[in-house]
Amino acid sequence: MRKVCHMTSAHDAEDVRIFHKECVSLAEGGYEVYLVERGESYEKNGVLIVGVGEIPEGRLKRMTEGARRVFEAALALDCELYHLHDPELLPYALKLKRMGKKVIFDSHEMTRQQFLLKPYVNRFTGTLLTGVYSIYEDYVLRRLDGVIFPCPIEGQFPLPGKNRTYVDNFPRLREMYDRFDPDAMKEPETVCLVGSLTEDRGARDLVLAAGKAGCKAVLAGTLMPDSFAEEIRQRAETGNIELLGPLDRDGVCAVMNRCCIGADPVWNVGQYDRLDNMSTKVYEYMAMGIPVVFTRNRFNGKMVDEYHFGICVDPGNTEEFAAALRELLDHPELAREYGENGRRAVKEHFSWESEERKLLALYETIFG
């Protein structure tokens, strides 16, 4: 049995893409799979999780001390292949290659496009970091055995290296699609937003739009940074807003089963309007049978025109967003039709089961 190790210093324990999709799929595919991450050690769903304890919260310490601890724990396992998920682990990718290991880098986002969105980076510093990181990333990836990216970016693969492949972050049918409850009692006049809750992901825009539409906003996820979190908490004290915090997969499914609409008001900045896919949460809303109101861009508009599962609105336009919410809330038959269309599209075109085959094929190619 081939022994492989996934490594992350930045993601939460049991990250959906890393653990629930990739690691579990590889274990079910016959690999001996280890996952080195923050937290405790245990075994789950055929995956041996090796915890390194709590990783420092500070960004610099996480990228140095945290990454080092993950590398040392992973190296001690002496696996044949190492699958890295964070940019701060790239220096260790080269070390592993020098030790004769096979290495894959899994880029969860177009990192070089995202520096200018960081609240702690000014434009000059962000531009400098983008240039330096791009050169370094290209240098490392050309020396690895495989590179994964979730989707094309404006039709072009943005990363160099051999054995490049797209493994999109579509929902696993048994985790989302199969847990749709057609008999669930919907809470009237509700719209949900799940995932990272930041300004550029449109959390404030949803709160404002829901207020204008006279409906309830249900937010599930981590509010960031602290100043923005405090702003939204203050709004929640006076408005029709429910803050649930981070949820596990059961909790996410429960929220989607009880809410009428799913929202994704992300701004068209950085990589968000350049990717040839939609946000993961949009596919999850579709799998759970709720219509979607989300940001209009080149790709999203094309998808709505083809599959008819929701309404696109201009980013930051809370009046248009509110009007779209009212359109679906006031016309439940249209909302139901969009929800059914979304479920059909996920089952036929956008499920993890198709992406799993691509992941397994990449591993088979690397192992020869």
Q: What is the pLDDT along the chain (368 residues), one digit of tens a residue?
A: 999 999 999 999 999 999 999 999 999 999 999 999 999 999 999 999 999 999 888 778 888 899 999 999 999 999 999 999 999 999 999 999 999 999 999 988 776 666 555 665 666 566 777 778 888 888 999 999 999 988 876 555 566 777 989 999 999 999 999 999 999 999 999 999 999 999 999 999 999 999 999 999 999 999 999 999 999 999 998 889 999 999 999 999 999 999 999 999 999 876 666 778 899 999 999 999 999 999 999 999 999 999 999 999 999 999 999 999 999 999 999 999 999 999 999 999 999 999 999 999 999 999 98
* 310-313, strands of its sheet edge to edge: 241-243, 216-220, 190-194, 261-264, 292-295, 310-313
What is the CATH architecture of 177-349? 3-Layer(aba) Sandwich (3.40)
**Domain 3-170+351-367, architecture per CATH:** 3-Layer(aba) Sandwich (3.40)
Look up residue 16 and give its DSSP letter.
Answer: I
In the chain, residues under CATH classification 3.40.50.2000 are: 3-170+351-367, 177-349
- Give the whole-angstrom CA distance, residue 110 versus residue 129: 13
Gap between the Cα atoms of 199 and 83, Å rounded: 31
Structure tokens at 254: 């429960």
Radius of gyration of the chain (CA): 21
Torsion, Cα 291 293 296 302, to 10 degrees, reads 0
| Residue tagged 């990783």 (tokens) | 55
pTM of this prediction exceeds 0.95 = no
